[in-house]
Amino acid sequence: MGNIFNYESPIMCFLKKLWQLIILSFLWVICSLPILTFGVATCALFSSINKLLVKGEGYTTEVFFSALKENFKQMTLIWSGIVLLLLLFDFNASYMNHIASQGSMMGEIHLLFRIQSGILLIYFFWSCAYVARFKDRLKSILINCGILMISQLKTTLLIFFILVTSLLNIWVMPFSIFIVPAVAVWVINFKTEKIFYKCMTSE
């Protein structure tokens, strides 16, 4: 019985990771409320998952806010650009949808803008994983993430699947927002880390 409550026992390790996932999801939700900080909060979640759950380093809140501060400038710039493009795509999609409602075949192009928005969001998650892992110039980040998204198509599709299932889960069970984000990023991080390691060892 004493072994079960031993801090190093499998059950205690599981409970510790579960608690960290809940705390990280909570911190992510709070820090994502201002839409401008959604990008850096997501990047901080990637960085924290990698350090806390993969490497077992540091304390939850300390690691999260340290990553938030460290990546604030780059991820705010990247996220701001993505938000502007998403707004542009949404405006075009809404306009084309209006044209489609009037019977014009040209209006069907609105689907293309919706698809572009989805691709852009997947690119955003690639950039979060990249910035959380590497120190690089903004131009290199943008180029490398584009290359990774295209060259690692299976992982890109997996990210899409995880995002869709996570959103559906939260929509059906709203309270799951305090666990699902960290779990989703943990799974994505597992895949991207393997790719990053392969890229580094092949250089």
Tens digit of pLDDT per residue, the chain (203 long)? 445 555 566 677 778 888 999 999 999 999 998 888 999 999 999 999 998 888 888 888 999 999 999 999 999 999 999 999 999 988 877 777 767 667 666 656 767 878 888 999 999 999 999 999 999 999 999 999 999 999 999 999 999 999 999 999 999 999 999 999 999 999 999 999 999 988 777 65
- For residues 179-188, one letter each, b for 16 or more C-beta atoms within 10 angstroms of the residue's C-beta and e for the rest, the string is bbbbbbbbbb
Number of Cα atoms under 13 Å in the Cβ half of residue 141: 22
Classify residue 66: in a domain, yes or no: yes
Q: Please give the residue range of the domain that contains residue 143.
A: 10-202
Rounded CA gap, 17 and 51, in Å? Answer: 12
Name the domain count of the chain.
Answer: 1
CB neighbour list of residue 12: distance below 8 Å, 6 or more residues apart:
4, 5, 6
Domain presence at residue 197: yes
- Does residue 2 fall inside a structural domain? no
